[in-house]
Structure 1
Amino acid sequence: MDVIATAGHVDHGKSALVRALTGMEPDRWAEERRRGLTIDLGFAWTTLPSGRRLAVVDVPGHERFVGNMLAGVGSVPAALVVVAADDGWSAQTAEHVAVLDALGVRHALLAVTKSDLADPAPVLADVRERLAATSMGEVPGVAVSSVTGAGVPELTAALERLLAELPAPDAAAPVRLWIDRAFTITGAGTVVTGTLAAGTVAAGDRFVLGDREVGVRGVQSLGEPVDRAPATARVAVNLRGVAVEDLSRGDALLTPGAYRLTDVVDVTLDAAPEDQLPAEPVVHVGSATVGARLRPLDGAALRLRLTRPLPLRIGDRLLLRDPGARRVLGADVRDVDPPELRRRGAARQRGADLVAQPGGDAGAAADLARRRIVRAADFAAMGWPVPVGATQQGTWLLAPGLADELGARVPDVVARYRRLRPLEPGPPAEVVRRALDLPDADLVAGLVREPLLLREGRVVDGSADLPPAVQKAVDEIRARLVLDPFAAPEAPDLVAAGLGVRELAAAVRSGQLVKVGEGVFLTPEVEGVARNRLATIAQPFTLSQARQAWGTSRRVAVPLMEWLDARGVTERLPDNSRRLR
């Protein structure tokens, strides 16, 4: 399906032209038909000779309803500019064209209506010349009469050519459906409509709507139920989980996690303004209209504080309108999570950075370099691609080269920590996180390089030894245990060797000793030796028989047996005997 919106001065025949093209009445309200004046958005559709399905959004032309007009054209890729042959270029023609230009619309068709009342040639030439100076460029024009039908076939053919030139929408993209109508249908419930510019909507989908999640009960397109509707399309979506009273024009159905709501955005105008900008412009995007406070940064760069958050992405096109001066300006969103401006001169520098910031992968790399570390989902929701060279660590994204830079600093953090605490194997991951100013301790694992390793929540040096005095005492204990693996030294012997609680804990962390019970320390090899000796006696066996096989005291045998039970070497039976597993 293709979607196009009308634009033009009041009473220039937009709605009549839509009726002539589609055979449908676009004015939805009885008051509109009674007064012959389009007040709100109208919708109609038809099938063109080629088989293309075309939906038309008919917008009001009166200056009092320009807000409604903007809600209709905000998501539409092409425009049908309508000018009457007997009136020519008029006030609202100029305002509507200024809106299309500010929105950056590049695909348009000119229809000079009421050609049965006046010669259309002068108006065709004049309007095409004016349009050539806008984003629409050289626009084809057709003279038409909705009364006599003259020119309607030619207009239809011109529409076919225009639509064939439109870029293909991305049906796999995340959905952001700006709502332009919300109503209830008996037996169905809440229904919203909008122009789907990208993505696909299907029955059973789940979307975010404000602060809640809603489900799609059903989808209609051009008045017919469909299983799924890919962009570009006019869609009516039957929702569950929300009442119509909680909805308004300008709300949006969003793919969960794909967009972030923001009320502060940095934007750039197409050019630096020649005169003073309004301090509180009205901002239009999609079908949404919000107030804002404007802060000039530098040149064409501005910061906008919106009166309510909107789901915006980098690259979105906004329209700033000064209702008093009837002036509109187009602006490109450059940052949806901008930095605070605290230092003197920060605003000017920020503006210069925004103007110089490239788009695409280069822009993503520059923005990620400024942020250094950001959640990957948040970066994507901002509208950036993952730049080449970026490092993905869990849910986080690191700027190109940053992981190596931070990894090179980890050894110094470990060395400094061990100088202060020589009996500890290394700093906890949280200590490293703070030292490197990381947002999450989970990032530490990806920054550890050999010979360092992350073990039991600490960054340790696998090649590091205990302090010399402690290592000497441990070596002496280990030498005695080589001769008798079960002769755990008594507490006085440990104290005499200079091995207190902290020193023994360090020896255990280093893997040179194991603590099998309170005050009972042996070598790690004791597990194999104990098992081998137990294998030589009848199964099952008692604790006394095990003690005799090991040749040790109850002080050692009791905790050692429980230690072996816990490690799955032995199994305790109901009668308190054991057997090897």
Structure 2
Amino acid sequence: MLIGTAGHIDHGKTTLVRALTGVDTDRLPEEKQRGITIELGYAYAPLADGQVLAFIDVPGHERFVPTMLMGAAGIDYALLVVAADDGVMPQTREHLAILHLLGVGRGAVALTKCDRVPAARVAEVAAEVGGLLAPTRLAGSPVFAVSAASGEGVPALSAHLEAVAKAEPQVVPAGGFRLVVDRRFAIAGAGTIVTGSVHAGTVRIGDRLLLARPSGFSREVRVRGLHVNSRRAEAGGPGSRCAVNLAGIDYGDIERGDWLLAPALACATDRLDLRLHLLPEAGRRLGQWAGVTLHHAGGHAMARLALLDGALEAGGLAPGASGLVQAVLDRPVFACHGDRVVIRDAAGRETLGGGRVLDPFPSARHRRRPERLALLAALEDADPAARLAALLEAAPAGLDADEVAAAHNLPGDGWRALLPAGAVALPRPANRLLGAAAWARLGDAILARLAAHHADFADEPGVERERLRRMCAPQLPSPAFQARLEALLADGLIGRAGSAWHLPAHTAELGAADRARADELIARLAAGGFDPPWVRDLAAACALAEADVRSLLRRLAMRGEVFQVVRDLFYARGNVAEMQAIAAGLAAGDDRRIRAADFRDRIGGGRKRAIQILEFFDRVGYTRRVGEGQRRAHVLRGEPPVPADEMPA
């Protein structure tokens, strides 16, 4: 069990921890000289049954509240220390407020220095503290009158903490490993050591993790050794202090506030959607785009708050109220759903409120739409399966599986067991999750779009994949759209002719006589290379009517055997494959652009024909025109009209 002290400066937190554990947590010369705690201190008290009580001693001076916040994040049990002679002081109130905002709901109160005051004063301070605790999560916490100097009351407090630890339920580690580094050093013969409190997951000897900084630094490391609560161990989980011996990094490359975590969780964000609660004693309303300091487990960042719900119409978020906000940060952080944050004023002098992260990867657009606010309300549900179902229902283009894993700390396949019935999990490269309704709607949109296209362009074989995606679901990544097409193809609901997708009924069957004439036409087109004969020339050579040749070639185009570049000019499939290979070769140049003059030189013929072919590639979605005039060119955009495996080597 991880116990964190809290309280005003010089109320005896460090002395009390020393009385409980025998360890002096003030280790710095400046701390010894000034008699105050500056950095986080740690002490451990072994119990008879093998358990260990771990203590985090935090500084009480208001200048070191950010340090206190880092230490308080992740504690299981609070020990609020109040000196009986001073009574409740400013940092007593602020530390208690911070514990409340961080969701710490279990704790005890130690009234220290009781040997200096009469019993009546002890009773008076105990009553004052009881009233202070009443509106917080620590309401009703037991109060112990102690004196670290004489030892009075220390055994009773120690016995209470031991009883709480023994009754502590076994925590089942969930999610990927997350630890914020609060110390780093090197030991001769061992190498780099980092220490911190475990926020989630489990670490084991031999694990490969990421030592990462939200600003971009990251290094893969291996766990070569482990101490949990100051004892050698094979594994460590939530509620424990870990010292991790790392291979693969020098301790000088590590900074306080870095994260040691599962690689899938190293997704930085500079926006957070929060449920924010302001303290009743907060000095002012928070208006739209109010500037604040946001404290998270890994440190703090300056933030601007965009009000999302009714607080905006009410003129701001009032003291004692709660609301939905989007925090726009000046530097990135690593955050997951459910993480606690504390908001202080922009100067960092006053604690204003705090809350929970609902969405660590929100969009900057449409953040106040009713459907978005409804989704944020659903994300307040404690059930991860209910949250995932709400996310899928609100995502017509589906969700990126890696982003879901990072946002909700579900690395690996942790999200699979939470998928609602009918939801679809697309493997890589799509790597996307779609709800049953979204999957069905996407299929319906594809079928409807193909039907409309066939009605408008009956002589075209169908629609190329990327062009069809832009028509139906432009927000959906290409691999996911491809997966939906393949599923419809497998179900027999659509067909494919080369790169063109079509409805099954939109095809052309050829009889024996037409097949023979078609083969002759295709042979003549192929022989023409990059300058094939026009319809009138084919008709004359084959002694057929122009209308019959034109009709037959359009039917062949529907089958993907030829391609119509302009009216009455068709190319054989093999020749198109050669031309698209030439275009791809030109696009591999330094500026990645295909120019008509260069393409003309490669295929021979005139500039007009080169432009016609490149515009055909634009039309089917293989290329895209960019620039005008002398800068006009084309860049590769999507799938070629002839599949890549048919292109010449």
Residue 308, structure 1, aligned to residue 319, structure 2 = no
In 2 relative to 1, CA 393–214 (structure 1 residues): closer, same or farther, beyond 3 Å?
Answer: closer
Separation (CA, whole Å) in 2 of partners of 1:27 and 1:391: 55
Q: Which moved more, 1:498-507 or 1:312-321?
A: 498-507
Give the Cα separation in 1 of the matches to 2:522 and 2:90: 100
Matches within 5 A, 1:93-242: 93-118=92-117, 119=119, 120-164=122-166, 166=168, 168-208=170-210, 209-210=212-213, 211-215=217-221, 216-242=223-249
Kept in 1: contact 2:21–2:45 (CA 8 A): yes
Q: Check if 1:376 corresponds to 2:401.
A: yes
Contact 2:180 2:196 (C-alpha < 8 Å) held by counterparts: yes
Counting only pairs closer than 5 Å after superposition, residues 18-167 of structure 1 correspond to structure 2 as 18-118=17-117, 119=119, 120-164=122-166, 166=168
User: Equivalent of 1:461, from 496, 503, 519?
Assistant: 503
- 2:513 maps to what in 1? 476
Partner Cα separation in structure 2 for residue 45 and residue 248 of structure 1: 25
Query: What's the counterpart of residue 290 of structure 1?
Result: 301
- Over residues 122-151 of structure 1, what are the superposed CA-to-partner deviations in whole Å (9 max), with x where a residue is unaligned? 322321332122012210122222122222
Aligned length: 502
Alpha-carbon distance in 2 for matches of 1:18, 1:145: 12
Q: Would you say 1:432 and 2:453 are equivalent positions? A: no
Q: SS of the residue aligned with 1:452?
A: coil
Q: Secondary structure at the match of 2:165?
A: helix
Q: Equivalents in 1 of 2:544, 2:218: separation in Å?
A: 64
2:404 is aligned with 1:404? no
CA distance in 2 between partners of 1:489 and 1:185 (Å): 77
Deviation at 1:171, TM superposition (A): 2.1
CA contact (8 A) 1:106 1:135 kept: yes
Q: Distance in 1 between matches of 2:448 and 2:91?
A: 68
- How well do the aligned residues superpose, as a CA RMSD in angstroms? 3.3
Q: Secondary structure of the residue that 1:294 maps to in structure 2?
A: strand
Task: Work out whether residues 262 and 310 of structure 1, in 8 Å CA contact, stay in contact via their aligned partners in 2.
Answer: yes
Report the Cα offset of residue 106 of structure 1: 0.5
Distance 2:560 2:372 in 1: 54
Contact 1:206–1:213 (8 Å) recurs in 2: no
- Do residues 498 (structure 1) and 543 (structure 2) align? no
Q: For 1:445, which of 474, 478, 483 is the aligned residue?
A: 483
Q: CA deviation at 1:288?
A: 1.3
Aligned to 1:539: none
The alpha-carbon deviation at position 69 of structure 1 amounts to 1.0
Length-normalised TM-score, structure 2: 0.70
Give the counterpart letter for 2:437 in structure 1. G
Q: Which residue of 1 aligns with 2:425?
A: 392
Describe the shift of the 1:445–1:72 C-alpha distance in structure 2 as closer, same or farther (beyond 3 A): closer
1:43 CA drift (Å): 0.5
Q: Distance in 1 between matches of 2:76 and 2:95?
A: 15
Per-residue CA deviation, residues 430-487 of structure 1 (Å, 9 max, x unaligned), is 2332222222244343355444245465434334441xxxx56x44245999xxxx99
Q: 2: CA distance between counterparts of 1:5 and 1:70?
A: 11
Offset, 1:51? 3.2
Match of 2:7 in 1: 8
Q: What residue in structure 1 maps to residue 258 of structure 2?
A: 251
Cα distance change, pair 354–163 in 1 and its aligned pair in 2 (3 A)? same
AA partner of residue 379 (structure 1)? V
**Distance change in 2, residues 1:458/1:4 (3 Å):** farther
For residue 173 of structure 1, report the CA deviation from its aligned partner.
1.9
Distance 1:97 1:490, change over 3 A: closer
Instruction: Evaluate the alpha carbon distance shift between residue 487 and residue 315 of structure 1 in structure 2; reply closer, same or farther with a 3 A threshold.
Output: closer
Equivalent position SS for 2:265: coil
| AA of the residue aligned to 2:43 | A
Rounded to whole Å, the distance in 2 between the matches of 1:70 and 1:494 is 90
Q: Distance in 1 between matches of 2:481 and 2:573?
A: 34
Question: Structure 2: how far apart are the matches of 1:285 and 1:488?
Answer: 71
**Distance (whole Å) between structure 1 residues aligned to residue 286 and residue 202 of structure 2:** 38
Aligned equivalents of 2:408, 2:143: Cα separation in 1: 36
Residue deviations 1:341-380 (CA, integer Å, cap 9, x gap): 469xx48986676457642344433333333222122122
Distance 2:237 2:278 in 1: 35
Report the more deviating stretch, 78-87 or 319-328.
319-328
Q: 93-102 or 497-506: which moved more?
A: 497-506
Alpha-carbon separation, structure 1, partners of 2:97 and 2:420:
38
Q: Deviation per CA, 1:133-184, whole angstroms, max 9, x where unpaired? A: 2012210122222122222221122113333555643424211111111223
User: Is 1:101–1:136's contact at 8 Å kept on the other side of the alignment?
Assistant: yes
3-state DSSP class of the match of 2:263?
coil
- 1:295 counterpart SS class: strand
- The residue type paired with residue 286 of structure 1 is A
Please give the TM-score of this superposition, normalised by the length of structure 1: 0.77
Cα offset, 1:9, TM superposition: 1.3
In the alignment, which residue of structure 2 is the partner of 1:269? Answer: 276
Gaps of 5+ in 1: 519-581
Q: What's the offset of the Cα at 1:235?
A: 0.8
Counterpart pick for 1:364 among 369, 388, 407: 388
Report the alpha carbon displacement of residue 425 of structure 1 after superposing the two structures with TM: 4.3
Instruction: Describe the superposition over 1:73-100 as per-residue Cα deviations: whole angstroms up to 9, x where unpaired.
Output: 1121221111122222112111111111
CA contact (8 A) 1:70 1:287 kept: no
Q: Partner of 2:462: helix, strand, or coil? A: coil
Distance between the aligned counterparts of 1:244 and 1:98, measured in 2? 35
Write the distance in 1 (CA, Å) between the matches of 2:359 and 2:573: 58
Match of 1:566 in 2: none
CA distance, structure 2, for counterparts of residue 388 and residue 296 of structure 1: 32
Percentage of matched positions with identical amino acids: 37
**Hey, what's the Cα distance between the residues in 2 that align with 1:167 and 1:302?**
34
8 Å contact 1:20–1:149 — kept in the other structure?
Answer: yes
Which of 343, 356, 359 aligns to 1:332? It is 356
Secondary structure at the aligned position of 1:281 is classed as strand
Contact 1:267 1:334 in 2 (8 A): yes
Letter in 1 for 2:63: R
Q: In structure 2, do the counterparts of structure 1 residues 168 and 137 end up closer, same or farther at CA, with 3 Å as the change threshold?
A: farther
Q: CA deviation at 1:220?
A: 2.1
CA distance, structure 1, for counterparts of residue 236 and residue 387 of structure 2: 32
Name the amino acid aligned to 1:406. L
Matched-pair contact (CA < 8 Å) for 2:366–2:372: no
**Which range moved further: 64-73 or 365-374?**
365-374
Question: Does the 8 Å CA contact 1:104/1:330 hold for their aligned counterparts?
Answer: no
**Alpha-carbon distance between aligned partners in 1 of 2:441 and 2:154, rounded to the nearest angstrom:** 66
